[in-house]
């Protein structure tokens, strides 16, 4: 009991430290951008563009849920679109409060509880959608070099942003692909299970690992609709960023935001702060500044995007409250 308490206390301290670091980065960013100018821009934000931007964020999240629905349907499970939407928003809400957005992996637990669908199928839906999302954004990041060629030649820091973004996204996509379709994870689990100490922990999961991979192979049938759904997600999120920028008077080519979004979003997966707090805002403001946007307006755009991206995820709170956190994380290993 004391060990669990100590582990919980350590995690709590880590979360507080990461939150503090994120807030510190934001404070430094606001000081550099001029605190007063930034908040003037925020207070003068055009309401109609803010409403359009926040609505597009919700639409983008709904497209992720639609991807889940397509995958589960291809596996012959009758999960409702409503349960997929609720599970996705619940997962996004948890990811907003965790380093590297790791909390998003409660999504299959919530989906299982709401839709009464096997956990392995829900996990396949989550991982496959994530893999396609990472892959699309990695490709967009590489293509963004064509748009950013001028600034990249003059500022070495931007080269680092592009390379880091592409590496983070491509590595994530490859890891997810290995989980889905490579036999190596299963073989590794079987080898580890030969050790007594490890086998006690691992053996209950072996059957689930095999079922997960069987389902993932069948899910290939849904690749076409999933690609379209996740591409729509990137475009909608990009346009949300565009309209939020318009709300504070930043007028840039809408197509540019597709690449800026791909570059910026990858930094939320760095486990330095909670969901990349401060890091994402700094990268977004820096990229907008390259195209003539005052730093104060760039920071105001990044704060608006952070606020509405997090606020819209509260749609998932009723699902978590209805199920209860204890039930979401309940161990369902005993078969």
pLDDT tens, 238-254?
999 999 999 999 999 89
Torsion from C-alpha of 256, 262, 263, 268, nearest 10 degrees: 140
Within 10 A of 147 (CB to CB), how many other CB atoms are there? Answer: 16
Q: What is the reported pLDDT for 321? A: 83
> Using CB atoms within 10 A of its CB, is residue 231 exposed (0-12), middle (13-18) or buried (19+)?
middle
Measure the CA–CA gap between 315 and 326, rounded to whole angstroms: 19
Q: Residue 274's beta-bridge partner residues? A: 99
Place of tokens 């930034």: 38
Low-confidence ranges of the chain (pLDDT < 70): 1-9, 145-161, 186, 189-190, 192-205, 324-335
* Cβ(84)–Cβ(122) below 8 Å: no
76 is written with which tokens?
């012959």
Using CA atoms, how far apart are residues 329 and 174, in angstroms rounded to an integer?
27
Cα of 158 vs its chain's centroid, Å: 22
Angle at 29 between CA 24 and CA 35, to 5 degrees: 105
- Predicted confidence at residue 125, as pLDDT, reads 94
């Amino acid at each position: 009991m004391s060990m669990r308490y100590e582990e919980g206390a350590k995690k709590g301290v880590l979360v507080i430290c990461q939150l503090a670091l994120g807030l510190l980065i934001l404070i430094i960013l606001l000081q550099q951008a001029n605190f007063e100018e930034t908040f003037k821009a925020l207070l003068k934000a055009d309401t109609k563009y803010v409403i359009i931007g926040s609505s597009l964020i919700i639409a983008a999240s709904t497209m992720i849920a639609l991807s889940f629905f397509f995958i589960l349907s291809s596996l012959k499970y009758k999960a409702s679109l409503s349960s997929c939407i609720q599970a996705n928003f619940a997962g996004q809400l948890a990811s907003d409060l965790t380093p590297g957005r790791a909390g998003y992996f409660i999504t299959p637990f919530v989906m299982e509880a709401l839709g009464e669908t096997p956990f392995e199928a829900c996990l396949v839906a989550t991982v496959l959608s994530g893999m396609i999302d990472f892959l699309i954004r990695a490709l967009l990041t590489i293509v963004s070099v064509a748009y950013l060629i001028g600034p990249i030649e003059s500022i070495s820091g931007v080269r680092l942003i592009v390379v880091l973004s592409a590496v983070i996204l491509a590595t994530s996509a490859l890891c997810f692909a290995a989980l889905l379709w490579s036999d190596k994870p299963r073989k590794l689990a079987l080898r580890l299970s030969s050790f007594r100490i490890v086998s006690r922990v691992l053996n209950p999961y072996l059957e689930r690992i095999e079922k997960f991979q069987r389902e993932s192979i069948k899910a290939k049938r849904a690749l076409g609709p999933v690609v379209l759904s996740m591409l729509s997600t990137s475009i909608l999120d990009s346009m949300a960023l565009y309209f939020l920028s318009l709300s504070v008077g930043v007028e840039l080519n809408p197509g540019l935001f597709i690449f800026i979004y791909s570059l910026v979003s990858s930094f939320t997966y760095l486990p330095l702060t909670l969901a990349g707090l401060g890091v994402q805002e700094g990268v977004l403001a820096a990229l907008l500044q390259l195209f003539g946007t005052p730093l104060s307006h760039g920071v105001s755009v990044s704060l608006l995007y952070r606020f509405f991206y997090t606020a819209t995820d509260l749609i998932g709170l009723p699902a978590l409250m209805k199920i209860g956190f204890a039930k979401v994380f309940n161990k369902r290993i005993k078969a």
